[in-house]
């Protein structure tokens, strides 16, 4: 009897140690929960206000923090036509956000305007440079940005499916030069902001494995993916499988670097919206309603949590209400995908960040 008791005690002790080991290997997962609010300084300058769900006026960063957002993503243009998204604005705003406790995620476009798969226009002041001089300018610019801002995360380019700094950095036509330019920018980050984690950002999930195979020689930390159902397919299951496959294949963590969803198909100014058709939606699961948007955000957060390699997501255009007024033809093309309704009041989707 004594022998049996001793045996059972050893089995129980072994089971307890095994359970402790499993818990050590699978700690509670803390997600990076980000929003891109790059236009907020411009919106604030127009005296536009934001309100909570009760209709009380709020400071947007404070409300986002209370809602569970821990990271702010900001775009950076080299020499924009006005001061918005230029270095001085982004530097000042990032320091303010840091003082409030946010992590800073910089999306450096390496352009004077929007950079995406179809647009990777070299900054005007660099257009006449040959490769050696361009590399020097790229190194100095990147070094200045990361040294002075010291972001927690930085993208070397934005949605660089086709490369960046075209034509010299075109991944199809000038692959070796693309890699050379990427290495130059990465060197600046590693030297002047060694704690900053580097993201390489690809738009979509189709051909993502091809792209990250092409850049596997580069020294980076995180795979970033844009995912919008209207452009990148309506299968959230495929999104999740792609995240898992990329993480396993390339031994990298993955971020959903951009996503969003509409709460309506209507508009609040005279600027054409990017999304306005029912065929752009995931129906019937996620209708263009406040509840549909909420359920979409919830599912995206669940995917981020469930996928072993995923560390979080960023909701793009959270702030993009129709801030120029109802008659503006150059206002917001995204107001029906913001996290605030047409009265600038917080939508239910915002609360999902705190729930996950």
Is 258 in the active site? Answer: yes
| pLDDT value of residue 29 | 84
Q: Which of 28, 57, 89, 159 is catalytic?
A: 159
| pLDDT value of residue 13 | 43
Q: Which of 187, 206, 258, 302 is catalytic?
A: 258
What does the longest C-alpha to C-alpha distance in the chain come to?
89
Q: Please, what's the b/e burial string for 171-192 (b: 16 or more CB within 10 A of its CB; e: otherwise)?
A: beebeebbbbbbebbbbbbeeb
Instruction: Give residue-wise pLDDT tens across range 261-277.
Output: 999 999 999 999 999 99
Residue 29 three-state SS: coil
Instruction: Give residue-wise pLDDT tens across range 4-32.
Output: 444 334 434 444 443 343 233 334 689 99
Domains belonging to the chain, first-starting first, are 32-355 (3.20.20.80)
339, 350 contact by CB (below 8 A): yes
235, 257 contact by CB (below 8 A): no
Handedness of CA 75, 81, 87, 92 (dihedral sign): negative
| pLDDT value of residue 112 | 98
- State the pTM of this model: 0.91
> Of 125, 120, 154, 152, which is closest to residue 257 (Cα–Cα)?
154
Give per-10-residue mean pLDDT for the chain (356 aa). 42 40 50 98 95 96 97 98 96 98 98 97 97 98 98 98 98 97 98 98 98 98 98 98 98 98 98 98 98 98 96 98 97 98 98 89
Is 42 in the active site? Answer: no
296, 20 contact by CB (below 8 A): no
SS (H, E, C) 217-285: CCCCCEEEEECCHHHHCCCHHHHHHHHHHHHHHHCCEEEEEEECCCCCCCCCCCCCCCCCCHHHCECCC
| pLDDT value of residue 260 | 98
| pLDDT value of residue 11 | 38
């Amino acid at each position: 009897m004594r022998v049996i008791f001793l045996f059972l005690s050893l089995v129980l002790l072994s089971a307890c140690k095994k359970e402790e080991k499993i818990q050590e290997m699978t700690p509670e997962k803390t997600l990076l929960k980000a929003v891109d609010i790059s236009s907020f300084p411009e919106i604030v300058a127009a005296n536009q206000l934001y309100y909570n769900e009760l209709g009380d006026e709020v400071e947007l960063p404070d409300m986002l923090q209370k809602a569970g957002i821990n990271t702010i993503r900001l775009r950076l243009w080299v020499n924009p036509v006005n001061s918005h998204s230029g270095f001085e604005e982004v530097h000042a705003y990032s320091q303010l956000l840091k003082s409030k406790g946010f992590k800073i995620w910089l999306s450096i476009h390496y352009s004077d305007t929007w950079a995406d798969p179809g647009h990777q226009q070299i900054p005007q002041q660099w257009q006449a440079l040959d490769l050696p001089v361009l590399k020097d300018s790229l190194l100095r610019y990147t070094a200045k940005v990361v040294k002075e801002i010291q972001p927690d995360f930085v993208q070397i380019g934005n949605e660089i499916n086709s490369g960046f700094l075209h034509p010299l950095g075109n991944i199809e036509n000038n692959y070796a030069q693309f890699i050379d330019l990427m290495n130059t920018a990465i060197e600046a980050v590693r030297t002047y902001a060694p704690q900053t984690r580097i993201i390489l950002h690809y738009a979509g999930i189709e051909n993502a494995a091809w792209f990250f195979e092409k850049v596997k020689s580069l020294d980076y930390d995180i795979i970033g993916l844009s995912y919008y159902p209207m452009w990148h397919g309506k299968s959230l299951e495929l999104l999740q499988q792609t995240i898992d496959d990329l993480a396993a294949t390339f031994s990298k963590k993955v971020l959903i670097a951009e996503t969003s969803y509409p709460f309506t198909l209507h508009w609040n100014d005279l600027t054409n919206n990017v999304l306005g058709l029912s065929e752009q939606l995931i129906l019937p699961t996620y209708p263009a309603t406040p509840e549909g948007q909420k359920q979409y955000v919830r599912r995206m957060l669940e995917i981020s949590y469930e996928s072993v390699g995923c560390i979080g997501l960023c909701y793009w255009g959270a702030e993009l209400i129709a801030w120029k007024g109802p008659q503006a033809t150059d206002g917001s093309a995204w107001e029906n995908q913001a996290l605030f309704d047409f009265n600038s009041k917080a939508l239910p989707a915002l609360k999902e960040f705190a729930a996950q």
